[in-house]
């Protein structure tokens, strides 16, 4: 039986690897480690510590520049535009969100667009950080090209996730965090690492044909821009694929359009710095009334959904964010599960950079 790893130990280990091996500064390493472990703790291993290999690749190719400080290049009382200077994505996001919340606390609302950043972890984390301040939080980002537009064959937009968080009664948060593609690319990578076949409807090849072999798909994914992920609704218009494609375009225009940043197609230029773009917004609840009454009312609406009649054979209706919250609670109590492939990656990095393994890593 494989031992789980203490949540705090895994953060410390990941931060040490990032500092010693990746030349991240202490703050950059800490916030990145928190984001990666948070994903694993929530049961989202596609965005967890397994991403260390992806982050290292971005370092080697010059996309990420540790030590570069984000710069505010445009600002009004209720907005800001930030140039991430190709810095560490979670660090750029943290700096931006902190400033965003400060401005929203003062004026009631603030929106921020960010250009020249890198992968910033799970979008839902940032939306929830805003919601913790009694605000409605939203977080969007573009990504490396992943999706094929409706009736197209060129992979031109990213998975372009949407995240929104709204406080409810009892300290809970409604948290919607979803890719506009059927799945994130991280899930394809996970199937590749574990040697598992993908379900139909996730991706298509360069001819537009559905494929399920994750390893074969991964071998060609970075070699050609043809073939890729399907957006929500799948291929064509019959099942609403054009709607998922439209959501991806919306995210692209909010993130890249309003920041004067790179579109997904140009986020990781060969030999160039990272150009990922983000968009955040924060609105104080008291713009709409008494915050406690509003949170109570939101809670009642969600309770009515939770308690509604279940389909035959089903015992529960899940509200968005509940599975992740419950998985996190379990991880905090019992430790974080890390699969064998990721354990090997961590042990290899520990050996390479002289970082002592933590308890439970060897299983």
- Per-residue pLDDT tens digits for 81-111: 999 999 999 999 999 999 999 999 999 999 9
Nearest alpha carbon to residue 279 among 90, 53, 113? 113
Residues whose CB is less than 8 angstroms from the CB of residue 333 and which lie 6 or more positions away in sequence, other chains included:
none
Express each pLDDT in 126-143 by its tens digit. 999 999 999 999 999 999
pLDDT greater than 60 at residue 222? yes
pLDDT greater than 90 at residue 68? yes
**Average confidence (pLDDT) over 135-163:** 94
Given this model, what pLDDT does residue 1 score? 45
**Average confidence (pLDDT) over 58-71:** 97
- pTM value is 0.93
H helix intervals, the chain? 7-22, 26-41, 52-60, 89-107, 123-131, 185-194, 214-221, 241-252, 258-259, 291-306, 322-334, 340-353
Nearest alpha carbon to residue 338 among 351, 347, 349, 326? 347
Would you kindly state where each structural domain of the chain is located, as residue ranges? 64-287
Match 């308690």 to its residue by tokens: 307
**Average confidence (pLDDT) over 38-63:** 96
64-287: CATH class: alpha beta
**Average confidence (pLDDT) over 204-214:** 87
- Count of CB atoms situated within 10 Å of the CB of 312: 4
pLDDT greater than 80 at residue 20? yes
Nearest alpha carbon to residue 229 among 202, 265, 211? 202
Computed over every residue of the chain, the mean pLDDT equals 95
CB 317 within 8 A of CB 303: no
Given this model, what pLDDT does residue 2 score? 66
DSSP 80-144: EEEE-TT--HHHHHHHHHHHHHHHHHHHSEEEEEEEEE---S-HHHHHHHHHTTSEEEEEEE--S
Rounded Cα–Cα distance for residues 338 and 142 (Å): 27
Name the more confident of 248 and 1: 248
Rounded Cα–Cα distance for residues 171 and 180 (Å): 28
**Average confidence (pLDDT) over 204-217:** 88
Express each pLDDT in 275-289 by its tens digit. 999 999 999 999 999
Given this model, what pLDDT does residue 209 score? 83
- Indicate the SS3 state at residue 277: strand
């Amino acid at each position: 039986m494989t031992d789980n790893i203490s949540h705090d130990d895994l953060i410390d280990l990941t931060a040490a690897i990032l500092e010693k091996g990746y030349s991240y500064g202490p703050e950059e390493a800490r916030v990145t480690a928190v984001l990666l472990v948070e994903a694993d703790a929530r049961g989202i291993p596609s965005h967890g510590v397994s991403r260390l290999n992806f982050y290292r690749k971005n370092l080697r190719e010059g996309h990420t520049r540790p030590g570069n400080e984000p710069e505010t290049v445009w600002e009004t009382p209720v907005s800001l535009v930030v140039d991430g200077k190709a810095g560490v994505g979670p660090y750029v996001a943290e700096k931006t969100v902190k400033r965003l919340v400060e401005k929203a606390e003062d004026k009631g609302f603030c929106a921020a667009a960010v250009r020249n950043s890198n992968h910033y972890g799970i979008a839902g984390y940032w939306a929830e950080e805003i919601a913790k301040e009694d605000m409605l939080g939203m977080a969007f980002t573009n990504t490396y090209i992943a999706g094929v537009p409706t009736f197209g064959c060129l992979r031109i937009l990213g998975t372009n996730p949407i995240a929104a968080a709204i406080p409810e009664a009892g300290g809970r948060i409604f948290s919607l965090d979803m890719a506009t593609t059927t799945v994130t690319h991280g899930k394809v990578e996970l199937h590749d690492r574990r040697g598992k076949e993908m379900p139909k409807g996730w991706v298509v090849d360069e001819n537009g044909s559905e494929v399920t072999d994750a390893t074969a798909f991964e071998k060609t994914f970075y070699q050609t821009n043809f073939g890729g992920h399907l957006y929500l609704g799948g291929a064509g218009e019959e099942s609403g694929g054009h709607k998922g494609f439209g959501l991806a375009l919306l995210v692209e225009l909010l993130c890249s359009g309003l920041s004067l940043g790179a579109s997904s197609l140009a986020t990781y230029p060969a030999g160039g710095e990272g150009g990922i773009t983000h968009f955040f917004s924060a609105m104080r609840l008291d713009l709409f009334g008494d915050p406690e009454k509003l949170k109570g009312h939101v809670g009642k609406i969600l309770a009515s959904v939770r308690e509604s009649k279940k389909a035959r054979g089903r015992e529960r209706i899940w509200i968005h964010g509940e599975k992740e919250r419950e998985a996190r609670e379990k991880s905090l109590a019992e430790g974080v599960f890390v699969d064998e492939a990721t354990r090997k990656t961590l042990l290899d990095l520990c050996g390479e950079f002289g970082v002592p393994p933590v308890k439970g890593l060897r299983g």
